[in-house]
Each structure stands twice: as C-alpha cells, then as structure tokens.
Amino acid sequence: MGVTLDWQPKQGEWERLMLAVPRSTLEQSWSYGTAAAAQAHAVERALVRGDGDPIGLVQVLRRPMLGILQICEILRGPLWLPAAGEGERREGRAAIKGAFRLRERRLLLWMPELTDTPDSHRAMRALGARPMITGYSSVWLDLRRPVEKIEAGLDQKWRNALRGAERSKLKVQITRAGRALDWLLERHDAFRRHRGFRAPSPALIRGFAAACARKSDVTIVTGALGSDRVAGALFLTHGTTATYYVGWSGPQGRDVDAQTLLLWRGIATLKEDGVEALDLGGIDTRRAPGVARFKLGLGGEVFTLAGTWL
C-alpha cells in the first residue's frame, strides 16, 4: 500500500496517537485546530499511514485570500510516531506537498518540525519548496528527569532568583481554568497592546481550553501578595508534551522574581500530570533578550527549526 493520507481521522485516535509522539507540538494538537477554526480558519487533518498503519499526523489551517487562493498553513508538522522510518517520512512529506497544488489554488506555507540543518533544507528543497522565513527558536526541557537533576542544570542566577522568590511572601495557586485564566489573559493582552508585540489572542487560548478533552491540558499558576494577584503563568498540554504559553508579572511580581517561582511550580505540576517534555514557548535574543535569558537559565536544549517554506 505504501504511504497514504487518511483525511477523515477521528478525534479519539488523534489524541491517542499524540500520546505516542515524543515532543509533540501545540500547533498540531486537535484542540489547537478546533480553536483556530473558530477564528476564521478552516482545519484539515490527516493521518499519515504506512501500509495502512498510522505513522504520523498532520494538521493544516486554511483561510481564503482575495477570494482567489486558499492559504494553507502547516505549523510545526507533521508529527511522526517512533515507528516511522526515514523513508516513510520522506514519502509522507511528498504526499502532503502533493495534496496542496497551486494550480488548484491551494498555496501551502509549511513550517516543518525539522531542525535547521543542511539535511532538513535538502529534504524540503527535494519537494520543490523554497525557504521564505527563518526558523523559530525555543528551548526543550526534559521533564522525565528527577526534579533534582533539573535543578542541578539551572543557571546560578536563575537558582538564586528562585530561592529569593521562595523566601518571599508570594502565595502560589494552581488552577485549571475559570476566573484565573480570564484574569491572566486580560493582563497579558493589555501588556501586549501596550508594548506592541504579537502574541496569541485570548480568544484562541480560550478556544483551546474549551476544546480540551482533558481538564489537565490547561494549567494556570498564579502568585499573590496578600489578596492581590501579581503574576501568572499558563501551560498548555498536548499529548505528553506541554508548552509554556503565557507569562505575565506586574511590578510587584517582578520585584520578587515571581515568574521564576511560577514556572518552577508549573514544572512540578506538569511532572505530576505525566508530562515528559516542556517547550518553553520561543526565544528571540534580538527582540526580547531578557525573556530569552530567563528561559535559557533553565538549562534546557536550545533548538531552531528550518523555517517556513513555500
């Protein structure tokens, strides 16, 4: 049978396969696709099958442009199951590329989950694709390790900030949705508008939370001084992987390094939930060097993807 695409997957099977994908990506989760579809996108999903058995999955977001073209986006996909061989992955990528032809007015913008290496560029060029945008960078943190091992890898300044936050009067609370999520999204969106940077919309995040099959897929960690919340962090889980998606601190929170403690408590909670890997949600050393240093201080594995291809 070879490699084929099954464009009628069921949510239950998709969710089950995501659990088997090492280091899955948020943008390929069923809940993310459902949330994006509610924001003027259409979503197409396919299981990649090798000789009939699932070996991968790909989610495509589609939107009209000028009433002429359909802009189709693959964000950080496809995802592969461990059993998928390199030959099957190559055939799978070719099958996906072939499903989106310009002569059918379907323009594919593809950010593959491939690291930025010469081999990755050759693989994409072999499909007839051209690089358009440089790659996204982030940090992977391996949560399969004991907390002591993770702590041993912390930068000394990060560890000192954590100890200071632990000694402060900050009260930390873990919740899964509700008012804490609304509170965090309102403050983060106001901060985003004030600073003028791009960030996920509150509507998209609320849509993800509403679409989740598991309550534990949304984790909000807040910190309060007295009766006032001064900082918050949001983690979204997909399969056995999570993404640190939103972090916000007010002036009082920054004074006590609140975000350091919230991230650390979030890591502990994710480990209890069975999460094995954490994507720290992107780093940009040029536009946001302070945020990048903060995330790099956790001592994780830095990676850069091969970019977006047309």
Q: Which CATH number does the domain housing residue 143 bear? A: 3.40.630.30
Residue 28 and residue 88 in one domain: yes
Q: How distant, in Å, are the alpha carbons of 52, 101, 177 from that of 237?
A: 29, 33, 13
Residue 27 and residue 160 in one domain: no
Task: State yes or no: pLDDT of 194 exceeds 90.
Answer: no
Task: State yes or no: pLDDT of 263 exceeds 70.
Answer: yes
| 225, 169 contact by CB (below 8 A) | yes
Task: State yes or no: pLDDT of 65 exceeds 90.
Answer: no
Q: Please tell me the predicted confidence (pLDDT) of residue 104.
A: 79
Distance CA 309, CA 112 (A): 8
Minimal CA–CA distance to 100: which of 56, 70, 79, 58? 70
pLDDT digits (tens, 9 = 90+) for 222-240: 999 999 999 999 999 999 9
Residue 223 and residue 186 in one domain: yes
Q: How confident is the model at residue 68 (pLDDT cuts 50, 70, 90)?
A: confident
Spatial neighbors of 147 by CB under 8 A, at least 6 apart, are 267, 268, 271
Q: Please tell me the predicted confidence (pLDDT) of residue 73.
A: 97
Q: Please tell me the predicted confidence (pLDDT) of residue 130.
A: 97
- Whether 247 is covered by a domain: the verdict is yes
Q: How distant, in Å, are the alpha carbons of 71, 126, 153, 177, 283 from that of 218?
A: 29, 39, 26, 7, 22
The more confident residue out of 198 and 130 is: 130
Residue 272 and residue 219 in one domain: yes
Where do runs of H (alpha helix) occur along the chain?
11-20, 30-37, 86-98, 118-125, 147-152, 156-167, 179-195, 202-211, 251-255, 258-272, 289-296
pLDDT digits (tens, 9 = 90+) for 154-175: 999 999 999 999 999 999 999 9
Residue 183 and residue 223 in one domain: yes
- Whether 125 is covered by a domain: the verdict is no
- Whether 60 is covered by a domain: the verdict is yes
Return the axis-axis angle of helices 156-167 and 258-272, rounded to nearest 10°: 90
The CA-based dihedral angle spanning residues 72, 76, 82, 88, taken in that order and rounded to the nearest 10 degrees? 40
Domain total of the chain? 2
Q: How many CB atoms lie within 10 A of CB 7?
A: 12
DSSP 129: -
Can you tell me which residue has the tokens 């609320």? Answer: 206
* Average pLDDT score over the chain: 95
Q: Please tell me the predicted confidence (pLDDT) of residue 177.
A: 86
- Whether 173 is covered by a domain: the verdict is yes
Residue 155 and residue 275 in one domain: yes
The more confident residue out of 40 and 241 is: 241
Paired tokens of 160: 């000192």
pTM of the model: 0.96
The whole domain housing 62 covers 3-113
| 44, 299 contact by CB (below 8 A) | no
Helix (H, G, I), strand (E, B) or coil at 190: helix
| 305, 132 contact by CB (below 8 A) | no
Residue 47 and residue 174 in one domain: no
Residue 98 and residue 185 in one domain: no
Q: How confident is the model at residue 101 (pLDDT cuts 50, 70, 90)?
A: confident
- Whether 124 is covered by a domain: the verdict is no
- Whether 128 is covered by a domain: the verdict is no
AA letter at 103 = R
DSSP 302: E
- Whether 17 is covered by a domain: the verdict is yes
Q: How confident is the model at residue 198 (pLDDT cuts 50, 70, 90)?
A: confident
Distance CA 304, CA 302 (A): 7
Spatial neighbors of 301 by CB under 8 A, at least 6 apart, are 139, 140, 141, 142
Q: Please tell me the predicted confidence (pLDDT) of residue 103.
A: 67
- Whether 212 is covered by a domain: the verdict is yes
178 phi and psi angles, rounded to 5 deg: 75, -145
Task: State yes or no: pLDDT of 266 exceeds 70.
Answer: yes
Paired tokens of 255: 């004074």
* Average pLDDT value for residue range 125-132: 97
Share of the chain above pLDDT 90, in %: 90
Q: Please tell me the predicted confidence (pLDDT) of residue 219.
A: 98
Residue 59 and residue 144 in one domain: no
Q: Please tell me the predicted confidence (pLDDT) of residue 191.
A: 85
